[in-house]
Structure 1
């Protein structure tokens, strides 16, 4: 089933069914003279992306720019596969991401460590991208797509060092990848607007994340376009919730590190996962979100990945 959302301002969102889940990861399409795609998700999502473009009446031969906010495989893993279908396009990436798109060996190793035996199902194939088709955008660089739309690239570490966010002059919105967290828009039907930090390994840095958020907040945005998933019309709540939840995430990690200092990484991560879920579950219960709602599975997956990033960060901070 194909899901395409018209977000206004010449932007469409294609649901690309990351990990087989609806409304998990999306690809943004900017309908301009230079047809531009933002985020590809992993390779198993590419058939959904291609069907989405077809449903929009667009041709892959007309795509000129494929932008990835960062090189984590759920955002950029399918870039090589998509590029094979887009003969006139280039991949645009953060300077620190270029070499990993050209040679994804380390990306693959890192993802295998996190996802284990599920790696192949979730991410393969991962296709290297020819260096001549990779374009780097430095902090403050721009890309003019038409007379009415210019994109500006901002270096926004915190979730990852190889992360930029893209300001769109036409909508006054930001394509934020994971810098500002995850939007659980499934919860809107229950009257709950929830944004949580994304603290996955292994470059998570809470101080950099907050500094990046402060920089983006100064842009006085009208919209935030999340990698996971969809558009928020309430940037004020996005920034407020990041500042609210992030210290709580770290506090849970610090408590586990103090109480379970002799345990191994996996045991600590499990304890942090349960702590993170314990933070959020009362909020869901208060809004009468049923236990069988799929969002619980989404939160459990996100909490487990966030927990690994928090433990990794704290161990580095403590020199362990």
Structure 2
């Protein structure tokens, strides 16, 4: 297990080893007297989060705020389990996500439909959160932490309708969850920075995503804190890459749906995945990234889920 990383401004990053993979999901911890955690990943990641808090010498009784950017299980699935260890904490969630944390039965049903027999190993247990420990934040509302830190909640759909992001004035940074895509720090050793949109089903909306990105840009942030994974200070490069890759992803989805009208959803999804993977691999080869680089395992996982969202979006547009 890696040690928490100090990102400056009183913020630490704990690696949560989603899918038993380093640098996949992380929790951001504000180390003030009112300890605040952004993102929990799923329940199998909670032992890593607890060990990280211990390494930071944080008493679990001092954890006051747990914030989840959205209710997808790789971001919020472990919130209920974490709350059992933090007697004085409450959980902050988008208004459209609150009922699913209080009663996660639909989240569990949906995940089992996708992951089948793998569900227990990946996500179990998903613990309901008592409603009196859930707090909703509307667009533009704030949370004061200690004397000199204010967090502002921004409703940022595109990846999911139940998504908010958090602007931290002190670091001039935004915790973007999945709305600003995925950062692949595994490529930094090759001198490559890669930021790709996250287009998972079934609420992916490219127009809403672009609107949310413009909302981020209006703050002129100096740091982007990604749900997957880590912080980037090359903010302009983040925007440029996302706005370049997003139309490529969407166009690929439309092309496959139009070309393969008689194929099943699964066959279309596989075709979108293969075409996108080929496009990105060609791009990375030009950057001298070898074909056996570890990042490809993550890219395959992410692009398979992205492909599902792209086919779903393209088919809904046709209808």
| TM-score, normalization by structure 2 | 0.98
For the 8 Å contact 1:2–1:51, the answer to whether it is kept is no
Cα distance in 1, alignment partners of residues 299 and 38 from structure 2 = 24
Q: Which residue in 1 is equivalent to 2:45?
A: 45
Q: CA deviation at 1:194?
A: 0.6
Per-residue deviation, 1:125:
0.5
Alignment partners' CA distance in 2, 1:235 and 1:199: 20
CA offsets 1:50-99 (integer angstroms, 9 cap, x no match): 00000111111110000000000000000000000000000000000000
- Root-mean-square deviation over aligned CA pairs: 0.9
1:25 aligned residue: 25
- The answer to whether structure 1 residue 253 and structure 2 residue 253 are counterparts is yes
Runs of 4+ in 1 over 3 A off after TM superposition: none
- What are the residue-to-residue correspondences of 1:274-313 with 2, within 5 Å? 274-313=274-313
Instruction: Give 1:162's aligned residue.
Output: 162
Maintained 8 Å contact 1:2/1:48: no
State the alpha-carbon separation in 2 of the partners of residues 197 and 122 from structure 1.
23
Match of 1:132 in 2: 132
Partner of 2:68: 68
Q: Residue 15 of structure 1 contacts residue 22 of structure 1 at CA under 8 Å; is this kept in 2?
A: yes
Q: Does the aligned pair in 1 maintain the 2:80–2:127 contact within 8 Å?
A: yes
Deviation at 1:186, TM superposition (A): 1.1
2:116 counterpart residue number: 116
Instruction: Find the residue that maps to 1:271 and give its secondary structure.
Output: helix
| Structure 1 residues 144-175: Cα deviation after superposition (integer angstroms, max 9, x where no partner) | 10222100000000000000000001000000
Equivalence for 2:196: 196
SS of 1:167 mapped into structure 2: strand
Residues 224, 235 of structure 2: 8 Å contact kept: yes
Given that residues 33 and 62 in structure 2 are in contact (C-alpha distance below 8 angstroms), is that contact kept between their aligned partners in structure 1? Answer: no
Structure 1 residue aligned with 2:239: 239
Aligned residue for 2:37, secondary structure, equals: strand
Does residue 218 (structure 1) correspond to residue 218 (structure 2)? The answer is yes
Where do 5+ consecutive residues of structure 2 fail to align?
none
How far is 1:121 from its partner?
1.0
CA distance in 1, matches of 2:239, 2:138: 24
Partner residue, 1:143? 143
* Structure 2 residue 180 is matched with structure 1 residue 180: yes
Q: Which runs of no fewer than 5 residues in structure 1 stay unpaired? A: none
Structure 2 Cα separation of the partners of residues 220 and 147 of structure 1: 24
Contact 1:143 / 1:151 at 8 angstroms: preserved in 2?
A: yes
- Residue 269 of structure 1 corresponds to 269
Asked if the contact 1:64–1:90 (Cα under 8 Å) also holds between the matched residues in 2, the reply is yes
Q: CA deviation at 1:113?
A: 2.5
